[in-house]
Amino acid sequence: MVENRPWLTVLQHFVLLCGVALVLFPLWIAFVASTHEGRALVAGVIPLLPGDQMVENYRTILTAGMQGAGGASVGTMLLNSLIMALSIAVGKIAISLLSAFAVVYFRFPFRMLCFWIIFSTLMLPVEVRILPTFEVVANLGMLNSYAGLSIPLIASATATFLFRQFFLTVPDELAEAARMDGAGPFRFFKDILVPLSRTNIAAIFVIMFIYGWNQYLWPLLVTTDESFYTIVMGIQRMVTVADSYPRWHHAMATAVMALLPPTLVVLIMQRLFVKGLVETEK
């Protein structure tokens, strides 16, 4: 602190508390709504304190099929989201490590061309080329499959870039020593480079897990079979059912289930996540 201004300190805490309230308020209301009976929510104003139906509501959505979501239970949708998020995170880390290793540690013809091809994906978010990408996936017979949900989202260059930046900071002496001891490139990669990148791998994992979990448009397009619905897209169906009244207590319980896993990942791995986020974008 540069100088002591008591009123300024009070103001700071006040502003920060307002910010925290702004952030937490929707989450709190969603939680509260998920613990009441359906009737309590449609009768006038929503209560501000939790009710006593929490166990009941969550058990219903987790096990029973939800009409609004097209029949799949929230348990199934959570599992699908988990598979999708994990495939995207693991797949992306695997192919990015390999290609970053190739680009940094080898000299071969068309190296820069490969680099720019990978780089170009940064400029083509899925939302921009939805229709043709959908056609490709449909022609490959990958609709309604976990492969169709995850593989098209794996190849963006962000992770490749982070690993490339990191590999460039690894001292040359390590590669030299490995070569002198007779280790081939793969040995060097497996025994030295990957263990050194542990922190970066973990940070990328957090970011990619959240990215995969929160996908919306893509699962909406490639899944028509309810057993492949993910939770984030399932909740929309629950809320905007046109002909029946949205069952808000179940919809909000689903929302809480949809946001809980990524929130826990962020909170538990906060330090890694912040580091990863700020460094990927540099």
Partner 1 sequence: MHKKVTFGGFAFPLVLLLPQLAITFVFFLWPAAQALYQSVLRQDAFGLRTTFVGLDNFARLLNDPSYLASFKVTLVFSTSVTLTGLAVALLLACMADRVIKGSGAYKTLLIIPYAVAPAVAGVLWYFLFNPSIGILAYLVRGLGYNWNHQISGTDAMILVVIASVWKQISYNFLFFLAGLQAIPKSLIEAAAIDGAGPWKRFTSIIFPLLSPTTFFLLVVNVVYAFFETFGVIHATTSGGPGQATTILVYKVFTDGFVALNLGSSAAQSVILMLIVVLLTAVQFRYIERRVQY
Copy the structure tokens of residue 158.
Answer: 């962000």
Of 139, 95, 101, the closest CA to residue 121 belongs to 95
56 forms part of the interface with partner 1 (CB under 8 A): no
With CB under 8 A, what is the number of residues at the site for partner 1?
109
Three-class SS of residue 171?
coil
Stretch that binds partner 1, among 55-63, 70-78, 194-202, 211-219 (CB under 8 A): 211-219
What CA–CA distance (Å, rounded) separates 120 from 161?
12
104 forms part of the interface with partner 1 (CB under 8 A): yes
Task: Kindly tell me which residue out of 163, 205, 213, 228 binds partner 1, with binding defined by CB under 8 A.
Answer: 213
Query: How many residues would you count in the chain?
Result: 282
Residues 125-164 that bind partner 1 (CB under 8 A): 125, 127-137, 140, 151-152, 154-155, 160
| DSSP label of 227 | G
41 forms part of the interface with partner 1 (CB under 8 A): yes
82 forms part of the interface with partner 1 (CB under 8 A): no
Q: 41 vs 76, which CB is nearer to partner 1? A: 41
180 forms part of the interface with partner 1 (CB under 8 A): no
What CA–CA distance (Å, rounded) separates 145 from 53?
36
Of 230, 196, 237, 195, the closest CA to residue 213 belongs to 230
Stretch that binds partner 1, among 56-64, 65-73, 192-200, 247-255 (CB under 8 A): 247-255
